[in-house]
A = this chain, B = another copy of it.
Amino acid sequence: MEEFINIGKRIPKTDAEEKVTGRAVYIHDLKVPGMLFGKILYSPHAHAKILNIDTSRAERLLGVKAILTGYNIPSIKFGFYKDNVPLKAGKVRSCRDEVAAVAATDPDIAEEALDLIRVDYEILPSVFDPEEAMKEGAPLVHDEHVGGKEKRPTNVLNLPWRLIAGDVDEARRQSAYVAEDRFRVTWVTHCCMGTSGCLAQFDLKNNLTIYSITQIPSLAQRDFTEALSAMGLQGKKVRVIKTMIGGGFGSKLDTYAFEYIAILLAHKTHKPVKIVFSREEEFFATSPRQPAIIDIAQGCTRDGRLTFRDVRMILDNGAYTSWGATTPSVMMMPISSLYKVPNVRYVAKCVYTNNTYSQAMRGYGNPQATFAIDSQIDILAEMAGIDPLDFRLRNANTPGEITPQNFKIITCGLRECIDAVAQKLDWRQNRGRRDGRGVGMASLIHVGGGARVYKSDGCGTIIKIDDFGTVNVFTGATDMGQGADTVIAQIVAEELGVRTEDVVVIHTDTDVCPWDVGAHASRTTFVAGNSALGAAKKVKQLLLEVAGQTLGESPENLDIRDRTVFSKRDPEKKSPLGKVLRAAHYTTGGRMVMAEYFYDPANENLDREFKGNLSVTYSYGTHGVEVEVDKETGQVKILKYVAAHDVGKAINPMLLEGQVYGGVAMGIGYALTERLISQNGKVMNPNFLDYKMLTAKDVPNVDPIVIETNDPFGPFGAKGIGEPGLVPTAPAIANAIYDALGVRIKDLPITPEKVLAALKQKTKPQ
């Protein structure tokens, strides 16, 4: 058995010390000479005509350097649909619409200037319910938007998500049992500890440097380059420099109005301009997880084999369209491929409303879909009179399977995950007591080997080694707190036979780091890891070549371990790595060791039928939970939480567990407590008092179980595990509550009020 030095080790994050001591530089800490502070004025109305904007009083305020509105900026369109602009002209479509922006020498002056800007509105009829918005005669959010064959004005986006595999109608007719339900999920937000912000700065040639907290440096660079063109700055260069990122979770997978505003203000003033969100802005002016109305039907045979799954979904897009509008492409994944289900139909509609617009959030649609699917699995199992554990085992995915969406399942530890959870929960013992305590479980599939949602799913790496054996790795990957740098360092160190601390990973600067599609789809360990591994393999080959010359041994007989090059057949022949490097370097015709590598996984874009092997490999997992529900208060208490994941290989068990802990905490919030309350398009609880994210004292002990299936395509066998930790949490809890009380809550969050109402309903005499 191969023994690793770095892989599988519980190594703390490389930036842990800097972060816990407050030395790490976040966007909030960044200061540059001559910097101005930008602030944004938002619409107070969800839908209104802008009649007039009077900035004259604000302009006279000492310290104000520029005021921009939608009427004095060039036309920059952004977002997935290019339906958004930095500052709105004509009308506002949601309560977070940006109407004016100020740059001033001091943030308080900028704030005061906002108060002095007078905007006259004519309020328009609004629509906040996507089902209402679909109706004929509903207020149009984008007057010019047309759809359907007749190209008629509509609020329905032209994103015809539609997956069909097999014959669902026939399968339904053949089914012994059919369950049919409507589930609802609402807005939750990322709750990043670091609020959003950026700092834009032009050099004197009008090249832009933007300090950013983006998860997509290369795509942001492209977006900003397009914006410069719209500003008349064709051919100018954009450099994106990332500061420390105080949480991403998908919230930074797009570029946003505030970034374009900072760029426009910086260009107008010829000064660096920094915009940092307040906590309130972070709550109402960033994009939450999409709400959805999910109509789902599933059937099974008499012996509990799934026959079909039929899902219709309506998604509240909000007023503008981000990449988040593409979450149905990921929802298809569990719908088509969680458990073996031969016939699948999925149709989704994204609908404009005057609500805040939604965005990617950890799981990217998967938690919404899985809540419906795996809640209903329990319902269907009960109809069939089968223990849901047995039902899941009977339908569990297996290696070698090709799913209805044409996913090729290489490795799959789902069965082991289900078994492990059942054992930890004493499932047979504890299930079905209906005494206020109950157990539940739910499973997940997620992409674990990249996801070709964009045309490229690649990541580049450059490695150089200095004369002391320090390895510099320039990666396209983005460390946003998940520990990507550490994992990449471990992978490179293992391949090169050095220690993790010998590796310095640089991921912060588009001028230095090769291209990468971004930190999404749980792809970083797999894709950036494989990219780093590829570069490290090239570097190792070079190292063995130069060492071969020094040691008088052919490279194929050499290896490196713990900073020492040695002959595998003659243990006397060995040399410290640094010495080998210096010998190669300090001589006429000397060399130094460097290499570059670009890895683009062999996965596929979905085809016109939304089929294709989206990821090189897939991650599976099962969460199990034991709850106690207080029948008087409706309060749900989590007694035990087990999270089993097929991770391929745990590169760093500690960081992996951290991902699982964080995911579960977020998942419990999604299940039980979190909700962005929107009234007439306005966020009513934009603060941590009224928005109930779990705090340290709310988070239960989580028992993470790591199942290693050693994926043949993963770096050292690893799969992605960034998102899965929260995907099955809500249905597992909903199932446990059902087991405890016999009540089924189908809309999130499962508040005490809903539990009490359901109990009351249940005990009401029929």
Binding site for B on A (CB under 8 A): 17-18, 21, 23, 29, 33, 203-205, 218, 221-222, 225, 237, 239, 452, 454-456, 458, 460, 462, 464, 466-468, 470, 472, 474, 501, 504, 506, 510-512, 514-515, 585-592, 594-596, 598, 600, 602-605
CB pair A594–B21 under 8 Å, yes or no, is: no
> In the complex the two chains form, is B466's CB within 8 Å of A221's CB?
yes
When chains A and B are docked, how far (Å) is the Cα of A205 from the Cα of B18? 9
* B598 A596 Cβ-Cβ under 8 A: no
* CB of A251, distance to nearest CB on chain B (Å): 25
Complex alpha-carbon distance, A585 and B18, angstroms: 36
| In contact, B514 and A592 (Cβ under 8 angstroms) | yes
Given A501-B205, A590-B456, decide whether A596 and B464 contact each other with a Cβ distance below 8 A.
yes
If A455-B590, A594-B598 are given as contacts, then 18 extra A-B residue pairs at C-beta distance below 8 Å, sorted by A number, are A17-B203, A18-B203, A21-B204, A218-B467, A222-B467, A237-B504, A458-B590, A458-B591, A460-B464, A460-B592, A462-B594, A462-B596, A467-B515, A514-B592, A515-B585, A588-B600, A588-B602, A588-B603
Minimum distance in angstroms from A217 CB to a CB of chain B:
11
The 9 closest A-B pairs by CB, nearest first: A17-B204, A455-B586, A594-B596, A590-B600, A456-B590, A456-B586, A591-B598, A592-B598, A515-B592
Q: Among the listed B468, B511, B586, which residue makes an inter-chain contact with A472, where contact means beta carbons less than 8 Å apart?
A: B511
Name the one of B455, B460, B470, B512 contacting A474, with C-beta atoms under 8 angstroms.
B512
Given contacts A204-B21, A237-B504, A468-B225, contact A604 B592 (CB under 8 A): no
Question: How far, in whole Å, are A452 and B586 apart by their CA atoms in the complex?
Answer: 11
Given A506-B512, A586-B455, A588-B604, residue A470 in contact with residue B237 (CB < 8 A): yes
CB-CB < 8 A to A455: which residues of B? 586-587, 590
Enumerate chain B residues within 8 angstroms of A222, measured Cβ to Cβ. Answer: 467-468
23 A-B residue pairs with CB within 8 Å: A17-B205, A18-B203, A18-B204, A29-B33, A205-B501, A218-B467, A222-B467, A237-B468, A239-B504, A460-B464, A464-B514, A467-B515, A504-B511, A514-B592, A514-B594, A588-B600, A588-B603, A589-B600, A590-B598, A591-B600, A592-B598, A595-B596, A596-B596
Residues of B within 8 A of A510 (CB): 466
A515 / chain B contacts, CB cutoff of 8 Å = 466-467, 585, 592
Query: How many protomers of this protein does the assembly include?
Result: 2
Please state if A588 and B452 are interface contacts (CB–CB under 8 Å): yes
CB-defined contacts of A586 to chain B, threshold 8 Å: 454-456
Q: Which residues of B contact A462 (CB under 8 A)?
A: 462, 464, 594, 596
A233, chain B: closest CB distance, angstroms: 13
With A and B bound together, what is the CA distance between A514 and B29 in angstroms?
Answer: 30
CB proximity of A208 to chain B, nearest CB, Å: 12
CB of A445 to closest CB in B, whole Å:
22
On whether the beta carbons of A585 and B458 are closer than 8 Å, the reply is: yes
Q: Which residue of B lies closest to A596 (CB)?
A: B594
Complexed CA–CA distance, A470 and B458 (Å):
19
| A469 and chain B: residue at smallest CB distance | B235
| Chain B residues, Cβ within 8 Å of A18 | 203-204
A611-B218 Cα distance, complex, nearest whole Å: 52
A730 vs B289: C-alpha distance in the bound complex, in angstroms?
75
Residues of B within 8 A of A472 (CB): 511-512
A591: min CB distance to chain B, Å: 5
Q: How far, in whole Å, are A474 and B464 apart by their CA atoms in the complex?
A: 11
- Residues in B neighbouring A17, C-beta threshold 8 A: 203-205
Nearest to A603 among chain B residues (CB) is B588
Question: Which residues from chain B contact A598 at a C-beta distance below 8 Å?
Answer: 590-592, 594
Residues of the B chain whose Cβ atoms lie less than 8 Å from the Cβ of A218: 466-467
**Closest Cβ of chain B: how far from A527's Cβ, in Å?**
12
A466 to B504, CA, bound (A): 23
A464 to B501 Cα, complex, angstroms: 26
A515 to chain B, nearest CB (A): 5
Query: Min CB distance, A231 to chain B, in Å?
Result: 16
Question: A588–B458 Cα gap in the complex (Å)?
Answer: 9
CB distance from A124 to the nearest CB of B (A): 40
Shortest distance from the beta carbon of A639 to any chain B beta carbon, whole Å: 39
A93 to B232, CA, bound (A): 63
The chain B residue with its CB closest to the CB of A14 is: B205
Q: How far is the CB of A332 from chain B (nearest CB, A)?
A: 20
Chain B residue nearest to A22 (CB atoms) is B33
How far in angstroms is the closest Cβ of chain B from A616? 11
Report the nearest B residue to A23, measured CB to CB: B204
Which of A239, A452, A600 counts the most chain B CB atoms within 10 A?
A600
Q: Return the contact of A587 from the options B225, B456, B504 (Cβ within 8 A).
A: B456
A408 to chain B minimum Cβ distance, whole angstroms, is 15
Q: Are A456 and B203 in touch, CB under 8 angstroms?
A: no
The smallest C-beta distance from A586 to any residue of chain B, in angstroms, reads 4
Give the docked Cα–Cα distance between A506 and B511 (Å): 8
Residues from chain B with Cβ under 8 Å of A205 in the complex: 17, 501
